[in-house]
Amino acid sequence: MAKQIIRSLKGNLLMRLFLRGIFVTFTLLLIWQCTVVILQLPSYLLPTPLQVLSSLTTHRALIMTNLLPTLIETLLGLLFGILFGISLALSMSLFRPVHSLLLPLLLVSQALPIFAIAPLLVIWFGYGVTAKIATTTLMLFFPIANNFLDGLKKTSQHYLDSAQLMGANRWRMLYHIRIPAALPQLASGIRLATAMAPLGAVIGEWVGSNKGLGFLLLSSNAQMQIDLMFATLWILILLTISIYFIVDKLLYFSMPWLKPVANT
């Protein structure tokens, strides 16, 4: 009985969230349409939502063809960013010399704008998918490493002292205490990186590419196809939202004690 009530509440909550999202989207589109009509803006400045929808329908094959490379670059860049960030955080947490050596390098890597580094990656790795994955990875690993490292540092000293009294070495304490305690912070870092991942892929495509949503944005802008540009932006937004909520659900199912974003 209790399980049925919980499922019913979850279903009602998801329905309310869905309806709220539909209402907000419809309201924004209505404001957009009214703004263009009232101000009589030309389509080359701001197309109407109907014009964008028409362009999306007309150029759907072109958009879907360029969506696939961006999706691959986003997912692989996110995967490598997660692995790289976790590895760095563990190394810096376990070995103090590594922490002292890598922390300034991490700060320098984030101080340099990604637009300044991306051309170098294109020169080093070429115009293929590798440069875009490297750009995305470089953009994403820091929030993951920083959040996970912060969680590892903030493990309750009481638990560590108790484990040490029972004879646990630092590797056992890391595996059984510190990593589980830092998982919420790691999940937060992964969520943040997920929201940024498509942007990293698009930046890589802007620097040098002949396919992808970033390339399509530049091409449509150069040809003054503003309706196609807005249609591509909508697909990019939907891609970001979809990947974010899929990753959020995966994190929730792998760490069920975390509260999912969808229920907040």
- What digits encode the pLDDT tens for the residues 153-165? 877 666 665 666 6
Residue with tokens 């050596």: 101
pLDDT at 245 over 60: yes
- Per-residue model confidence as pLDDT tens digits over 58-88: 888 999 999 999 999 999 999 999 999 999 9
DSSP assigned state of 39: H
pLDDT at 151 over 80: yes
Place 264 in a pLDDT band, splitting at 50, 70 and 90.
very low
pLDDT at 17 over 80: no
| pLDDT of the residue at 81 | 93
Which range (38-52, 86-100, 105-119, 160-174) has the least confidence?
160-174
Which pair of tokens denotes residue 154? 């903030």
| pLDDT of the residue at 41 | 79
pLDDT at 15 over 80: no
Cβ count within 10 A of residue 15 = 10
Give the CA-trace dihedral at 36, 38, 42, 44, to 10 degrees: -20
Average pLDDT for 27-48: 82
150 Cβ contact list (under 8 Å, min separation 6): 182, 185
Report the distance separating Cα 131 and Cα 74, nearest Å.
Answer: 12
The full length of the chain comes to 264
Average pLDDT for 100-109: 77
Place 31 in a pLDDT band, splitting at 50, 70 and 90.
confident
Report the distance separating Cα 100 and Cα 90, nearest Å.
Answer: 13
Task: Give the range with max mean pLDDT: 202-211, 235-244, 250-259.
Answer: 235-244
Stronger pLDDT, 183 or 261, i.e. the higher one: 183
Report the distance separating Cα 237 and Cα 240, nearest Å.
Answer: 5
85 Cβ contact list (under 8 Å, min separation 6): 140, 141, 142, 143, 144, 145, 148, 189, 193
Are 63 and 231 in contact, with CB atoms under 8 Å apart? yes
| CATH fold for the domain made of 42-263 | MetI-like fold (1.10.3720)
Are 140 and 197 in contact, with CB atoms under 8 Å apart? yes
Average pLDDT for 138-145: 89
Nearest to 187 by CA among 252, 136, 142: 252
CA dihedral sign of residues 72, 74, 77, 83? negative
| pLDDT of the residue at 102 | 79
The pTM of this model reads 0.81
Are 114 and 139 in contact, with CB atoms under 8 Å apart? yes
| pLDDT of the residue at 243 | 93
17 Cβ contact list (under 8 Å, min separation 6): 262
Stronger pLDDT, 40 or 194, i.e. the higher one: 194
pLDDT at 10 over 60: no
pLDDT at 196 over 80: yes
Nearest to 76 by CA among 12, 142, 133: 133
| pLDDT of the residue at 6 | 47
Average pLDDT value for the chain: 81
Cα 202 to chain centroid, rounded: 12
Report the distance separating Cα 261 and Cα 244, nearest Å.
Answer: 10
